[in-house]
Amino acid sequence: MQQVLDSEHPAQNMLPLHTSHGPWPINLPLPAHTKDADDETLITLLKEGSKTESKHALETIFVRHHQDVWRYVRSRVSAAGDADEIAAATWVIAIEKIYNFVWTGVPIKSWLLSIAHRKMLEFFNSPLPISLEHLNEEQEEALHYIATQLNLIDHTNSTQEVPLTVKREADELLHKMIAKLSGTERKIIMLIYFENLENATEVAERLDMNKNTIRVYHKRARDKLRASPELSNLFPEAPA
Protein backbone atom coordinates (compact mmCIF):
# COMPACT_ATOMS: atom_id res chain seq x y z
CA MET A 1 0.00 0.00 0.00
CA GLN A 2 2.78 2.49 0.88
CA GLN A 3 4.39 2.00 -2.54
CA VAL A 4 1.07 2.74 -4.19
CA LEU A 5 0.64 5.92 -2.14
CA ASP A 6 4.21 7.00 -2.86
CA SER A 7 3.37 6.90 -6.56
CA GLU A 8 0.36 9.16 -6.05
CA HIS A 9 0.27 12.78 -4.97
CA PRO A 10 -2.37 15.29 -3.95
CA ALA A 11 -4.04 16.86 -6.95
CA GLN A 12 -2.81 20.35 -7.73
CA ASN A 13 -6.29 21.81 -7.38
CA MET A 14 -6.28 21.15 -3.64
CA LEU A 15 -3.32 23.47 -3.04
CA PRO A 16 -4.64 26.99 -3.83
CA LEU A 17 -6.79 27.23 -0.71
CA HIS A 18 -8.67 30.47 -0.18
CA THR A 19 -9.12 31.64 3.42
CA SER A 20 -9.59 34.87 5.26
CA HIS A 21 -6.08 34.76 6.72
CA GLY A 22 -3.81 35.17 3.72
CA PRO A 23 -3.11 34.57 0.03
CA TRP A 24 -2.71 31.10 -1.43
CA PRO A 25 -1.04 29.31 -3.11
CA ILE A 26 2.18 29.70 -1.16
CA ASN A 27 5.43 31.18 -2.38
CA LEU A 28 8.48 28.93 -2.53
CA PRO A 29 11.21 28.55 -1.41
CA LEU A 30 10.37 28.95 2.27
CA PRO A 31 12.59 31.18 4.43
CA ALA A 32 15.14 29.24 6.51
CA HIS A 33 13.93 30.59 9.87
CA THR A 34 10.57 28.85 9.42
CA LYS A 35 11.58 25.98 7.13
CA ASP A 36 13.82 24.51 9.86
CA ALA A 37 11.76 25.61 12.88
CA ASP A 38 10.19 23.16 15.33
CA ASP A 39 6.45 23.02 15.96
CA GLU A 40 6.48 25.24 19.04
CA THR A 41 8.45 27.96 17.22
CA LEU A 42 6.08 27.83 14.26
CA ILE A 43 3.03 28.24 16.50
CA THR A 44 4.71 31.16 18.31
CA LEU A 45 5.55 32.89 15.00
CA LEU A 46 2.08 32.20 13.67
CA LYS A 47 0.33 33.81 16.63
CA GLU A 48 2.83 36.41 17.85
CA GLY A 49 5.06 37.20 14.87
CA SER A 50 4.68 39.89 12.28
CA LYS A 51 2.21 39.47 9.44
CA THR A 52 4.98 38.14 7.20
CA GLU A 53 6.35 35.79 9.88
CA SER A 54 2.86 34.47 10.57
CA LYS A 55 2.26 33.83 6.86
CA HIS A 56 5.61 32.04 6.47
CA ALA A 57 4.91 29.89 9.53
CA LEU A 58 1.55 28.82 8.12
CA GLU A 59 3.10 28.09 4.73
CA THR A 60 5.78 25.98 6.41
CA ILE A 61 3.19 23.94 8.31
CA PHE A 62 1.31 23.28 5.08
CA VAL A 63 4.41 22.34 3.06
CA ARG A 64 5.71 20.13 5.87
CA HIS A 65 2.50 18.18 6.45
CA HIS A 66 0.15 18.34 3.48
CA GLN A 67 1.41 15.13 1.86
CA ASP A 68 1.25 13.25 5.17
CA VAL A 69 -2.32 14.38 5.66
CA TRP A 70 -3.23 13.36 2.13
CA ARG A 71 -1.57 9.93 2.45
CA TYR A 72 -3.32 9.34 5.77
CA VAL A 73 -6.66 10.01 4.10
CA ARG A 74 -5.74 8.17 0.90
CA SER A 75 -4.91 5.00 2.86
CA ARG A 76 -8.51 4.94 4.08
CA VAL A 77 -10.52 5.90 0.99
CA SER A 78 -10.72 4.07 -2.32
CA ALA A 79 -10.40 7.01 -4.72
CA ALA A 80 -7.60 9.58 -5.02
CA GLY A 81 -10.18 12.25 -5.90
CA ASP A 82 -12.01 11.65 -2.63
CA ALA A 83 -8.70 11.91 -0.80
CA ASP A 84 -8.10 15.29 -2.47
CA GLU A 85 -11.52 16.52 -1.36
CA ILE A 86 -11.18 15.34 2.24
CA ALA A 87 -7.59 16.58 2.59
CA ALA A 88 -8.53 19.99 1.21
CA ALA A 89 -11.47 20.20 3.64
CA THR A 90 -9.06 19.26 6.43
CA TRP A 91 -6.77 22.17 5.59
CA VAL A 92 -9.61 24.66 5.35
CA ILE A 93 -10.60 23.76 8.93
CA ALA A 94 -6.99 23.66 10.13
CA ILE A 95 -6.07 27.04 8.66
CA GLU A 96 -9.09 28.69 10.25
CA LYS A 97 -8.54 27.09 13.67
CA ILE A 98 -4.76 27.11 13.97
CA TYR A 99 -4.68 30.76 15.07
CA ASN A 100 -6.36 29.60 18.29
CA PHE A 101 -4.09 26.56 18.64
CA VAL A 102 -2.76 26.17 22.20
CA TRP A 103 0.70 24.62 22.26
CA THR A 104 0.74 21.67 24.68
CA GLY A 105 3.67 19.70 23.27
CA VAL A 106 1.52 17.54 21.01
CA PRO A 107 2.89 17.56 17.44
CA ILE A 108 1.03 19.67 14.91
CA LYS A 109 0.86 16.60 12.68
CA SER A 110 -1.20 14.71 15.28
CA TRP A 111 -3.62 17.63 15.49
CA LEU A 112 -3.93 17.74 11.70
CA LEU A 113 -4.56 14.00 11.49
CA SER A 114 -7.27 14.30 14.12
CA ILE A 115 -9.04 16.84 11.91
CA ALA A 116 -8.57 14.60 8.88
CA HIS A 117 -10.05 11.69 10.83
CA ARG A 118 -13.19 13.69 11.62
CA LYS A 119 -13.51 14.87 8.02
CA MET A 120 -13.38 11.25 6.90
CA LEU A 121 -16.17 10.40 9.31
CA GLU A 122 -18.22 13.17 7.72
CA PHE A 123 -17.43 11.80 4.28
CA PHE A 124 -18.45 8.24 5.12
CA ASN A 125 -21.40 8.98 7.37
CA SER A 126 -22.86 12.08 5.65
CA PRO A 127 -24.01 13.55 8.97
CA LEU A 128 -26.54 16.31 9.42
CA PRO A 129 -25.16 19.85 9.84
CA ILE A 130 -23.78 20.55 13.30
CA SER A 131 -26.00 22.53 15.64
CA LEU A 132 -23.80 24.70 17.81
CA GLU A 133 -26.68 25.15 20.24
CA HIS A 134 -26.61 21.42 20.95
CA LEU A 135 -22.86 21.04 21.49
CA ASN A 136 -22.92 22.14 25.12
CA GLU A 137 -25.94 19.94 25.79
CA GLU A 138 -23.94 16.96 24.53
CA GLN A 139 -20.96 17.58 26.81
CA GLU A 140 -21.79 14.73 29.18
CA GLU A 141 -22.08 12.31 26.29
CA ALA A 142 -18.80 13.62 24.91
CA LEU A 143 -17.05 13.02 28.24
CA HIS A 144 -18.45 9.50 28.30
CA TYR A 145 -17.09 8.98 24.79
CA ILE A 146 -13.62 10.14 25.89
CA ALA A 147 -13.70 7.75 28.83
CA THR A 148 -14.67 4.80 26.65
CA GLN A 149 -12.12 5.58 23.95
CA LEU A 150 -9.35 5.66 26.57
CA ASN A 151 -10.72 2.52 28.25
CA LEU A 152 -11.36 4.37 31.49
CA ILE A 153 -14.77 2.70 31.55
CA ASP A 154 -16.00 -0.48 29.91
CA HIS A 155 -17.68 -0.13 26.53
CA THR A 156 -17.67 -3.73 25.30
CA ASN A 157 -21.46 -3.88 25.35
CA SER A 158 -22.01 -0.55 23.61
CA THR A 159 -23.38 -0.83 20.08
CA GLN A 160 -24.91 2.63 19.71
CA GLU A 161 -23.36 4.86 17.06
CA VAL A 162 -21.88 8.03 18.55
CA PRO A 163 -22.99 11.20 16.68
CA LEU A 164 -20.28 13.19 14.96
CA THR A 165 -21.21 16.29 16.98
CA VAL A 166 -20.45 14.38 20.17
CA LYS A 167 -17.08 13.24 18.81
CA ARG A 168 -16.17 16.81 17.90
CA GLU A 169 -17.17 18.05 21.33
CA ALA A 170 -15.06 15.25 22.81
CA ASP A 171 -12.06 16.33 20.75
CA GLU A 172 -12.31 19.89 22.03
CA LEU A 173 -12.68 18.75 25.63
CA LEU A 174 -9.79 16.30 25.43
CA HIS A 175 -7.41 18.95 24.06
CA LYS A 176 -8.19 21.14 27.08
CA MET A 177 -7.87 18.26 29.55
CA ILE A 178 -4.51 16.95 28.33
CA ALA A 179 -2.95 20.39 28.70
CA LYS A 180 -2.46 19.42 32.38
CA LEU A 181 -0.47 16.28 31.50
CA SER A 182 3.26 16.00 30.93
CA GLY A 183 4.59 16.08 27.38
CA THR A 184 5.06 12.31 27.17
CA GLU A 185 1.66 11.64 28.72
CA ARG A 186 -0.01 13.94 26.19
CA LYS A 187 1.65 12.21 23.24
CA ILE A 188 0.59 8.78 24.48
CA ILE A 189 -3.03 9.83 24.96
CA MET A 190 -3.13 11.49 21.53
CA LEU A 191 -1.77 8.37 19.84
CA ILE A 192 -4.31 6.16 21.58
CA TYR A 193 -7.28 8.48 21.11
CA PHE A 194 -6.72 9.89 17.62
CA GLU A 195 -4.60 7.25 15.91
CA ASN A 196 -6.16 4.23 17.62
CA LEU A 197 -2.92 2.59 18.71
CA GLU A 198 -4.09 -0.28 20.88
CA ASN A 199 -1.08 -1.51 22.86
CA ALA A 200 2.11 -0.34 24.55
CA THR A 201 4.31 -1.92 21.89
CA GLU A 202 2.79 0.17 19.09
CA VAL A 203 3.03 3.37 21.13
CA ALA A 204 6.61 2.55 22.18
CA GLU A 205 7.63 2.05 18.55
CA ARG A 206 6.07 5.35 17.51
CA LEU A 207 7.74 7.31 20.32
CA ASP A 208 10.99 5.30 20.28
CA MET A 209 10.64 4.41 23.96
CA ASN A 210 10.66 1.25 26.07
CA LYS A 211 7.19 -0.32 26.25
CA ASN A 212 7.40 -0.70 30.04
CA THR A 213 8.11 3.02 30.32
CA ILE A 214 5.10 3.66 28.09
CA ARG A 215 2.92 1.60 30.45
CA VAL A 216 4.07 3.71 33.42
CA TYR A 217 3.35 7.01 31.67
CA HIS A 218 0.06 5.67 30.32
CA LYS A 219 -1.12 4.69 33.81
CA ARG A 220 -0.17 8.12 35.17
CA ALA A 221 -2.05 9.83 32.35
CA ARG A 222 -5.14 7.66 32.83
CA ASP A 223 -5.14 8.29 36.60
CA LYS A 224 -4.85 12.05 36.07
CA LEU A 225 -7.65 12.12 33.51
CA ARG A 226 -9.85 9.89 35.64
CA ALA A 227 -9.40 12.31 38.57
CA SER A 228 -9.89 15.44 36.45
CA PRO A 229 -12.85 17.71 37.28
CA GLU A 230 -14.34 16.96 33.87
CA LEU A 231 -14.31 13.16 34.18
CA SER A 232 -14.40 12.56 37.93
CA ASN A 233 -18.22 12.62 38.00
CA LEU A 234 -18.21 9.49 35.86
CA PHE A 235 -16.42 7.66 38.68
CA PRO A 236 -18.34 8.34 41.91
CA GLU A 237 -16.35 5.73 43.82
CA ALA A 238 -12.99 7.25 42.96
CA PRO A 239 -11.22 9.04 45.82
CA ALA A 240 -11.35 12.82 45.77
Terminal Cα distance for the chain, rounded:
49
Domain end point (choices 126, 141, 165): 126
Domains of the chain: total: 2
- What is the rounded CA–CA span in Å between residue 147 and residue 102? 22
122 and 189 co-located in one domain: no
Strand, helix or coil for residue 151? coil
**What global pTM score does this model have?**
0.48
Residue from 130, 121, 119, 116 nearest 165 by CA:
130
93 and 198 co-located in one domain: no
Tell me the mean pLDDT per 10 residues along the chain, length 240: 41 40 55 85 90 89 90 81 87 88 87 91 63 56 82 64 77 80 87 79 87 89 84 61
Query: What pLDDT score does 113 carry?
Result: 92
- Residues near 163 by Cβ (< 8 Å), separated by ≥ 6? 127, 138
Query: What pLDDT score does 6 carry?
Result: 41
120 and 142 co-located in one domain: no
- What is the rounded CA–CA span in Å between residue 92 and residue 223? 36
Range of the domain at 158: 131-231
Query: What pLDDT score does 7 carry?
Result: 43
66 and 104 co-located in one domain: yes
100 and 170 co-located in one domain: no
